[in-house]
Structure 1
């Protein structure tokens, strides 16, 4: 199924507005110019902006609101959904025990390998780069505590 850009844009803009409203009550950090609500507000504003641009594009193109492009295979869809849900559950359970870096690299490697089938080396490389980028953004720049786990002595 394919939806018109105006429909997708409306959904994205609505999610962005909801995110901004939901994060409005989050208090700032002590002695910081930004707080817990800063990141959600930035993401919400970007969703609102990009959703608005999609709405404008979709209305200009005058497409059908919804059209069926092809049949979705049930088994691969369910397997992909199960892999993502299982990954989230494993992440929540193992991160406090093993730590964010090891769990994230392992899960991302498995997911990249399962979805792209380009080899273990490439999947591991992309997983390490992605995990490092997330660690640098959240733990170092935004000061969001990510559990180092078994690598605490190495990282600190």
Structure 2
């Protein structure tokens, strides 16, 4: 069964509102322009905005019901869950050695390529762009150090 965009948009907007509400009293950090609640508030605000846009688009199209998209194998669901767990464990083990950029790009590329039934060109591109954006957000914007691993000799 596929849940329509109206329901998913409303759910995402509610999750965003709960996130913004929950992070409103996070303490300020000493000598920092941004407090601990900045990032959750930003993510919650984007969830609310995009959830409302998704719901409005579905409402405008008149897509208000549920539709069956066919059966799915339970083994495929468990395989996907196992792949995500394996990717997290692999990241924890490999990131200190190989570095965030290498491991994140590799894992993202492999997961997208596998889940998109072999669209490897797209997965290489999306993996690279996603890794770059995450790197810029955490290292440059939020000043959170991510391990460079083997790239440390290249960068420094």
Q: TM-score range by the shorter chain?
A: 0.7 to 0.9
Instruction: Kindly provide the CA deviation profile for residues 27-85 of structure 1, in whole angstroms up to 9, marking residues without a partner as x.
Output: 33433322332121111011112223344444552622x33231123333332222122
Aligned to 1:28: 28
Within a 5 Å distance, the mapping from 1:68-147 to structure 2 comes to 68-116=68-116, 117-119=118-120, 123-147=123-147
Q: 1:105 to 1:13 in 2, by over 3 A?
A: same
Point out where structure 1 has 5 or more consecutive residues left out of the alignment: none
Q: 1:150 to 1:35 in 2, by over 3 A?
A: farther
Question: TM-score if structure 2 supplies the norm length?
Answer: 0.78
Question: TM-score if structure 1 supplies the norm length?
Answer: 0.78
Q: 1:10 to 1:130 in 2, by over 3 A?
A: closer
Cα distance in 2 for partners of 1:55, 1:31 equals: 40
Cα distance in 2 for partners of 1:78, 1:107 equals: 18
Instruction: Kindly provide the CA deviation profile for residues 68-111 of structure 1, in whole angstroms up to 9, marking residues without a partner as x.
Output: 23112333333222212211222133324442122212212322
Q: 1:56 to 1:77 in 2, by over 3 A?
A: same
Cα distance in 1 for partners of 2:13, 2:71 equals: 28
SS at match of 2:91: helix
Cα distance in 2 for partners of 1:123, 1:88 equals: 18
Instruction: Kindly provide the CA deviation profile for residues 91-149 of structure 1, in whole angstroms up to 9, marking residues without a partner as x.
Output: 13332444212221221232233233134x66445433332222122211221221223
Does residue 3 in structure 1 map to residue 15 in structure 2?
Answer: no
Q: 1:151 to 1:17 in 2, by over 3 A?
A: same
Cα distance in 2 for partners of 1:112, 1:2 equals: 21
- Higher mean displacement: 140-149 or 9-18: 140-149
- Higher mean displacement: 94-103 or 40-49: 94-103
Point out where structure 2 has 5 or more consecutive residues left out of the alignment: none
